[in-house]
């Protein structure tokens, strides 16, 4: 059995969402691309997959795997909820919380971060604006990912279109807790987008369609990883 991988910055998280290209057998194939790029560039590349793919991807590759969501519940009568212990046992090392496509309340975020901590899951909490990044940082996650929802999936990178959002998020989060890492996402599709993000103070990126739906996911991800190496 492979040793359990860990998340470290600078970091690329590839969110497979529920894209056909990132589910089931395709999820495993794409995770192996991430594993190859990570090895070639010596950069941490993690993947956020559907709950049903966590075990297979984590057991058959060496990439860190994240759940796309968890619920702040404990063992018991919670049909349909995603139990933190279950995704941890399946092989996840972390989880996304409050992605713009799975928005939750600040109280939910607080409880989910606490439950994730109970089972040893690294938390990556998404936020849409600088003020929300500040409020999320007060909850105590491991990472905050700023993602303006209007740019998600557009191919217009937040690091270039709204650089003040990235730099503002970094300033706001670090003022609350300098130990919380700041990532950025939305529209990231190239190495240039990643390089711009890192120069603004981000410690990594959260990407999705720019890799998952790329004509050549390997080349797309390699470009991003090489940008990190250059910085």
DSSP label at 114?
Answer: H
Q: How far apart are CA 33 and CA 221, in angstroms?
A: 8
Note whether residue 154 is domain-resident. Answer: no
β-strand partners of 123: 95
Token digits of residue 45: 């590349």
**Element holding 127 (H helix, E strand):** strand 122-127
β-strand partners of 184: 146, 205
What is the residue whose two structure tokens read 């409050």?
A: 98
Distance from the Cα of residue 107 to its chain's centroid = 21
Terminal CA-to-CA distance of the chain, rounded, Å?
A: 34
Residues counted in the chain: 231
Distance from the Cα of residue 24 to its chain's centroid = 19
Q: What is the CATH number of the domain that holds 210?
A: 3.20.20.70
**Helix/strand/coil for 144:** strand
Number of domains in the chain: 1
What pLDDT does 154 receive? 72
pLDDT along the chain (231 residues), means of 10: 75 98 98 98 98 98 98 98 98 97 97 98 96 97 91 76 90 97 91 93 95 97 95 75
Q: Is 138 one of the annotated active-site residues of the chain?
A: no
Note whether residue 111 is domain-resident. Answer: yes
Between the CA atoms of 108, 27, 61 and 38, what dihedral angle is there, to the nearest 10 degrees? -90
Note whether residue 193 is domain-resident. Answer: yes
DSSP label at 3?
Answer: P
What pLDDT does 120 receive? 97
Q: How far apart are CA 191 and CA 48, in angstroms?
A: 20
Note whether residue 159 is domain-resident. Answer: no
What pLDDT does 3 receive? 55
Note whether residue 162 is domain-resident. Answer: no
Q: Which of 69, 99, 195, 203 is catalytic?
A: 99
Q: How far apart are CA 132 and CA 85, in angstroms?
A: 27
Note whether residue 153 is domain-resident. Answer: no
Note whether residue 70 is domain-resident. Answer: yes
**Helix/strand/coil for 225:** helix
Domain region containing 26:
11-121+188-230
What pLDDT does 219 receive? 97
Q: Which of 35, 147, 195, 203 is catalytic?
A: 147
Note whether residue 180 is domain-resident. Answer: no
Q: Is 69 one of the annotated active-site residues of the chain?
A: no
Distance from the Cα of residue 63 to its chain's centroid = 13
Check if the beta carbon of residue 115 is closer than 8 Å to that of residue 70: yes
**Helix/strand/coil for 216:** coil
């Amino acid at each position: 059995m492979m040793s359990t991988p860990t998340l470290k910055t600078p970091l690329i998280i590839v969110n497979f969402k529920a894209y056909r290209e990132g589910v089931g057998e395709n999820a495993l194939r794409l995770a192996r691309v991430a594993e190859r790029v990570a090895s070639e560039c010596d950069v941490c590349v993690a993947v956020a997959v559907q709950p049903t793919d966590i075990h297979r991807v984590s057991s058959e590759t060496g990439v860190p795997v994240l759940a796309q969501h968890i619920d702040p519940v404990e063992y018991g009568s919670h049909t349909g909820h995603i139990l933190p212990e279950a995704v941890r046992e399946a092989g996840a090392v972390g989880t996304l919380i409050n992605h713009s496509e799975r928005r939750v309340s600040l109280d939910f975020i607080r409880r989910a971060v606490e439950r994730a901590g109970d089972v040893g899951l690294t938390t990556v909490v998404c936020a849409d604006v600088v003020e929300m990044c500040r409020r999320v940082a007060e909850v105590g996650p491991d990472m905050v990912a700023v993602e303006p929802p209007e740019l998600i999936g557009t191919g217009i990178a937040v690091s270039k279109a709204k650089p003040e959002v990235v730099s503002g998020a970094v300033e706001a989060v670090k003022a609350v807790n300098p130990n919380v890492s700041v990532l950025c996402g939305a529209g990231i599709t190239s190495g240039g987008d990643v390089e711009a993000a890192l120069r603004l103070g981000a410690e990594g990126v959260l990407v999705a369609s720019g890799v998952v739906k790329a004509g050549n996911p390997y080349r797309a991800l390699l470009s991003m990883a090489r940008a990190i190496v250059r910085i």
